[in-house]
Structure 1
Amino acid sequence: MKKLMLMAALAVFGFTNVNAQDDATSGGQTSEGKWLIEANTGNAMLGTTGLYFSSSDGSSEYNIGLDGGYFIIDDLAIKAGLGYGGFSPDEGDSTSSFSYRIGAKYYFKSMIPVTIDLTGASGDGVENYAGETPLWLGFGAGYAWFISGNVSIEPGLRYNLSLNEDYTDEGVFQFNVGFALHF
């Protein structure tokens, strides 16, 4: 009996999810004139407009930010984002940073988001020894799982290429989970 109930619940969930995906692929959430607001998990290694918190040995690091976008044509959104973060060491002075992002996001088949954007940061404590600040060109791809008519969860992979070799010449690879509102 438990197996039957579990299978029935999975069937209902699967049917509901298929309907949400069908709504997504019919152009509803990603059609021209729609808006997008999203929050992503972040990475402390670069300026970010995502959500991030880390604490270790009495020191803590955090970031909070959001991205927003407007669909200029079906499946293509122009995006911008802002973030604010800080670092509080166990001893010494705290630092803070302001991050920004501008770019584009295209949804292949209305459910496979691909992004390209420019991300930078400024503020006390973000400069390296030469006084340079980070600037990154980001490329990402993932999958948009529409859990309702206007909410999606978007796990994805991202690579950030450093554009300021005086800051760092290393790229950063990351796994993100995004949460988006479409309206």
Structure 2
Amino acid sequence: MKKLLVAAMMVFGLAANAQESTSSQTAQGKIVIEANTGSATTGNTSFSLTSSNGNTAWSVGAEGGYFIIDDLAVKAGLGYGDNGTTDSFRYKIGAEYYIIGQIPVGVDFTGSSYTGGSTNWLGLQGGYAYFLGENLSIKPALRYNIGLEDGQKGVFQGLIGFALYF
């Protein structure tokens, strides 16, 4: 019985310590700046580089957010991409909520504008924020982009994000 009580107290203490160490990063009034790896095909604001049959496609971008209340950030992002024949301007606006301060789930409107047109997606994303310190986290995530244009298919992605909190 003593061992069970000690084990329960240790688990409770670790959980409380984890909550304390992450709650300050996602507190109201804080700012987050994030860069992700990802696919250039959805127009997202990430870093990517692909090469196939002599064609190289790349994209750069970043996003930032402001925590309007504890654990809820309003975010926006910008990016640029080039697939060798067409360049594009990418944009993103949305919100991200951190469940228990460590599990970010988000929804956003993402688009890509290029010569001759544009494409848009509704993005749904969930992941985990692994805090490396007071101001830095690694955020692996899964994302599904729902195409908003006629005939546009949805795209599933795996991302790795790096976020700074101020």
Scaled to the shorter chain, the TM-score interval is 0.7 to 0.9
RMSD in angstroms over aligned alpha carbons? 1.6
Q: What are the Cα deviations for residues 49-79 of structure 1, in whole angstroms up to 9, with x where unaligned?
A: 0010011221100000000000000000000
Q: What are the Cα deviations for residues 15-60 of structure 1, in whole angstroms up to 9, with x where unaligned?
A: xxx9676410xx2000000000000112122111001001122110
- Greater share of strand: 2
User: Hey, what's the Cα distance between the residues in 1 that align with 2:159 and 2:20?
Assistant: 24
Question: Which residue of structure 1 aligns with residue 138 of structure 2?
Answer: 153
The one-letter amino acid paired with 2:126 is A
The one-letter amino acid paired with 1:59 is N
User: Hey, what's the Cα distance between the residues in 1 that align with 2:49 and 2:143?
Assistant: 19
Do residues 111 (structure 1) and 102 (structure 2) align? yes
User: Hey, what's the Cα distance between the residues in 1 that align with 2:132 and 2:103?
Assistant: 15
Question: Which residue of structure 1 aligns with residue 125 of structure 2?
Answer: 140
- The number of residues matched between the two structures is 151
Question: Quick one: which of 26, 30, 34 aligns to 2:30?
Answer: 34
After superposition, where does 1:6-17 map in structure 2 within 5 Å?
Answer: none
Question: Which residue of structure 1 aligns with residue 49 of structure 2?
Answer: 53
Identity %: 52
Do residues 122 (structure 1) and 113 (structure 2) align? yes
User: Hey, what's the Cα distance between the residues in 2 that align with 1:179 and 1:22?
Assistant: 21
Q: Are the aligned partners of 1:21 and 1:146 in contact in 2 as well (CA < 8 Å)?
A: no
User: Hey, what's the Cα distance between the residues in 2 that align with 1:45 and 1:22?
Assistant: 38
Please report the TM-score for the alignment, with normalisation by the length of structure 2.
Answer: 0.86
Note the residue ranges of structure 1 that are not aligned, 5 or more in a row. 1-17, 89-93
Note the residue ranges of structure 2 that are not aligned, 5 or more in a row. 1-15
